[in-house]
Amino acid sequence: MDAIRYYTRTGNTEKLANLLGKQLKLEAKSIETPISQPVDRLYLGGGIYNLNVDEHLKDFARNLDPKMVKEVFLFGTSGSLFTVEKQLTKIFDKKGIKVEKDHLFLHGLMPKLGNINGHQKEEIDEFAKETETE
């Protein structure tokens, strides 16, 4: 079983999560929905705000039970080149939860204007295909 969770302030990461969910045939849910049963793959997404991952997303990561998640695939959006990868990976490393090297970060998405373009949709499709078969 796999799951998608995301945190978004502007709606951009939610758009990405929903497109990814469509490809993976999974319902993307906000981090307000806890992981209630074990998952093989958790796709976890968020954005960067003032160079940091939002505390809500960090708290979600800190509170994940390592017995409930085999591996995490990170994704996210950003208006800059920064990503959620380093900050969340540190949290998961401490918990003993494996973070896969495959990740998806869409850059240049500005708040409230984040239209995901055709090339980015192709990136989402490729990411979904790569991670489904691992």
* pTM (2 d.p.): 0.91
Q: What are phi and psi of 93, to 5 degrees?
A: -60, -45
Burial class (CB in 10 A: 0-12, 13-18, 19+), 13: buried
**Minimum mean pLDDT range among 2-11, 24-33, 72-81, 85-94:** 72-81
pLDDT tens string 40-96: 999 999 988 777 899 999 999 999 999 999 999 999 988 777 788 999 999 999 999
Banded pLDDT at 112 (limits 50, 70, 90): low
| 3-class SS string, 94-130 | HHCCEECCCCEEEECCCCCCCCCCHHHHHHHHHHHHH
Question: In the chain, what percentage of residues exceed pLDDT 90?
Answer: 72
C-alpha span between 15 and 12 (Å, rounded): 5
Classified by CATH at the fold level, domain 2-132 comes out as: Rossmann fold (3.40.50)
Tell me, rounded to whole angstroms, the distance of Cα 36 from its chain centroid: 18
Residue ranges of the domains in the chain? 2-132
